[in-house]
Amino acid sequence: MILFSTVIIFLIHHIILYLKNSLTVPKVKDMVNIPAKQYEEMYNVIQHKREAELSNQTQINEELEPDPASMKNELKNYLKKQMSSQSQPLESNTQPQIQEHPTSFSFSDINSLPVSSI
């Protein structure tokens, strides 16, 4: 009886293996071509971004390139303004006034102080 049971188990096992191999499509992972295509796509995206950034940067540089004559005029105007402000006399109220606080307090002084000082 034991021999008969092992033969049945052996046959059922091999039938299941045969059906599995003949009726299913094995999964094959392409570990060479698919990653190479994905890396190429990523490289192309990065390359296009760099080209776009470079073209934008050159456009910005061309737009922001100053005119030397206007820069020279602007510098002259600035220097004239600085020279005219230096030639005016300084007023005596230009220095900020410093308020001195007493170094010692008594408890009676605390009640007379404004709330923001406490």
Enclosing domain of residue 8: 1-25
Question: Looking at the domain assignment, is residue 2 inside a domain?
Answer: yes
Low-confidence ranges of the chain (pLDDT < 70): 61-63, 66, 88-118
Tens digits of residue pLDDT in 64-93 = 776 778 888 888 999 999 988 887 655 545
- From residue 14, give the alpha-carbon distance in Å to each of 8, 19, 26, 36, 85: 10, 9, 18, 39, 103
Question: Looking at the domain assignment, is residue 10 inside a domain?
Answer: yes
Question: Looking at the domain assignment, is residue 8 inside a domain?
Answer: yes
Question: Looking at the domain assignment, is residue 108 inside a domain?
Answer: no
Tokens of 104: 């010692």
Question: Looking at the domain assignment, is residue 9 inside a domain?
Answer: yes
pTM above 0.75, yes or no: no
Tokens of 60: 């910005």
Domain count, the chain: 1
